Amino acid sequence: MSNVILQVEDLHTSFFTRAGEVKAVDGISFYVREGETFGLVGESACGKTVTGLSILRLLPEPAGIIVGGKIILEGKNLLELSKKEMREIRGEKISMILQDPMTSLNPVYTVGDQIGESVRQHQHLPDDMVETEVVSALRLLGIPAPESRLHDYPFQMSGGMRQRVVGSIAMSCRPRLLIADEPTTALDATIQAQYLALFRDIQKQTDVAIIFITHDFGVVASICHRVAVMYAGKIMETASTSTIFKTPKHPYTSALIHSVPRLDRKDDRLYSIEGQPPSLLNLPPGCRFAPRCPDVQDVCHKQQPPEVEIGEGHTVSCWKVK
């Protein structure tokens, strides 16, 4: 078993707004191993993106604040680092890919500039060496004719190609951990399949640990080794991908998977979870999913269930599971 790169313990992140404290992430814990893709999956406003931003400590100023917990990377708690130390880690030890390739690249600088910038920032190489690094980063992401493409501007490239450039920027300093926030949501299905296959290879070559944030279960199935299902700021269940799909224990996980339309069979009616996700301003006291849960008991409304480990790496937070 490869060693653990990142350990998140009881992370609490809130946004302090005029309307009150929005508990975006309310106590989550998980770990990611070297060479492993860990999925953070859930519907909108479940806190998956906020978790990613908290790890990099890039929450929007001044509202977003990490109010509790630890984030340990190779033995160091990132929350105790100075701003300068944290900046050295961003881009070198941990990097991130954002969702929309159309807006992630600066329109007025060439692709080569934008990749070379992070290489120069972290590796302090002479200029000729920087160019070879840039070309190798572009080649790693399978971009054809990298020597000429690095002089192009972002608007001269298709969405898929730009997302590869963003990938090159992220991998240019061979980080230990890559956070990918919905990188393929804006891409077409066939281009998405290409992108996911590409990252499976990159992971084999570089052994980089990946936190893959998505709302699409198809993506989870094709690239993640282990998955955490999030709902309203908490992790409901964490398990290997096949366990999540085949033998989920938490009612929300099974309901969610059940309501995804399948391509390999014809359903005449889809299972749908009734009601609406809770507002993060006034969360229900007990289990967050209680108001919509088919197997709800009255204890669920009163108290939050503890996180119980029911198998190797399989944890669930639900009163139904002992």
Partner 1 sequence: MADILLEGRDLKKHYPVTKGLLQRTVGWVRAVDGVSFTIERGKTLSLVGESGAGKTTVAKAILLLERLTSGTILFEGKDVYKFSKSQLKMEYRPSVQSVQQNPWSSMDPRMRVRDIVAEPLVVNTKHTKEQIQSRVKELLQQVGLAPNHADYYPHEFSGGQRQRIAVARALALNPSLVVLDEPVSALDVSIRAQIMNLLKDLQEQYNLSYLVIAHNLATVRFMSHNVAIMYLGQIVEYGEAEEVFNRPLHPYTRALISASILKLPEDDVQGVQQIILSGEMPSPLNPPSGCRFHTRCVEAMDICSKVAPEERVIGQQRVKCHIYDDPSVQSALSSGFQPGTEGRPQPS
Partner 2 sequence: MVRFIIVRLLQSVIALVGIAMLIFVLVRVSGDPALMLATATSTEEDIQQIRVNLGLDKSIPEQFWIFVTDVVKGDMGESLFKKKPVTEMIAAALPNSIKLILPSWVVAMLGAFLLGVLGATRRDGFLDNGVKFIAILGQALPGFWVAIVAVFIFSVTWQLLPTSGLGGPSHYVLPVFTLAFFLLPGMMRLVRSSMLDVLDSEYIKLARIKGLPERMVIWKHALRNALIAPLTVAGVLFAMLITGAVIIETVFSWPGIGFIVVEGVLARDFPLVQAIVIMVAVFVLGINLLVDITYAYIDPQIRYQRT
Partner 3 sequence: MQEKDSDPETAAKPVISGLSRRARIMRKLTFIVPVIILSIIILVAIFADLAWLGLPDVRLAPYDPEKISMRDRLMPPFWDEEGSTDHLLGTDKMGRDILSRLIFGARISLSVSLLVILITSFIGTVLGIMGGYLGGRTEAFLMRITDISLAFPPILVAMLLAVSMGPSFTTVVLAISLLGWAPYARLIRGETLRLREMDFVAQARVIGTSPFRIMARHIFPNIINPLIIIMTLQIGLLIITEASLSFLGVGIPPPAPSWGNMVNDGRNLVDTAWWISTFPGIAIALVVMSGNFFGDWLRDTMDPRLRQL
Binding site for partner 3 (CB under 8 A): 15-18, 22, 43-46, 48-49, 60-64, 99, 102, 158-159, 182, 185-189, 215-216, 280
Q: Which residues contact 39 (CB under 8 A, 6 or more apart)?
A: 212, 213, 214, 220, 223, 224, 226, 227, 228, 241
With H, G, I as helix, E, B as strand and everything else as coil, classify residue 211. Answer: strand
Q: Which of partner 2, partner 1, partner 3, none sits in contact with 91, Cβ below 5 to 8 A by type?
A: partner 2
- Exactly one of 61, 127, 128, 264 binds partner 1 (CB under 8 A); that residue is 264
Q: Which of partner 3, partner 1, partner 2, none sits in contact with 58, Cβ below 5 to 8 A by type?
A: partner 2
Determine the Cα–Cα distance for residues 78 and 80; give it in Å rounded to an integer: 5
- Exactly one of 80, 88, 147, 188 binds partner 2 (CB under 8 A); that residue is 88
**What minimum distance in Å lies between the beta carbon of 88 and partner 2?**
6
Residue 185 near residue 158 (C-beta atoms within 8 A): no
Q: Please work out, in degrees rounded to the nearest 5, the angle formed at the alpha carbon of residue 291 by the alpha carbons of 290 and 295.
A: 50
Determine the Cα–Cα distance for residues 248 and 227; give it in Å rounded to an integer: 11
Determine the Cα–Cα distance for residues 22 and 233; give it in Å rounded to an integer: 10
Question: Near partner 2 by CB under 8 A, which window of 64-72, 151-159, 212-220, 237-245?
Answer: 151-159
Q: Which of partner 2, partner 1, partner 3, none sits in contact with 271, Cβ below 5 to 8 A by type?
A: partner 1
Q: Which two tokens stand for residue 237?
A: 């269940």
**What minimum distance in Å lies between the beta carbon of 76 and partner 1?**
34
Closest CA to 95 of 63, 132, 141: 141
**What minimum distance in Å lies between the beta carbon of 191 and partner 1?**
7
Q: Which of partner 2, partner 1, partner 3, none sits in contact with 18, Cβ below 5 to 8 A by type?
A: partner 3
Q: Please work out, in degrees rounded to the nearest 5, the angle formed at the alpha carbon of residue 137 by the alpha carbons of 131 and 143.
A: 105
Phi/psi of residue 227, nearest 5 degrees: -135, 140
- Exactly one of 28, 71, 169, 228 binds partner 2 (CB under 8 A); that residue is 169
When the beta carbons of 281 and 299 are compared against partner 3, the nearer one is: 281
If one asks whether residue 95 binds partner 2 (CB under 8 A), the answer comes out as: yes
By the criterion CB under 8 A, which residues form the site for partner 1?
A: 43-44, 158-161, 188-194, 197, 215, 217-218, 221-222, 241-242, 245, 255-256, 259-264, 266-274, 276-277
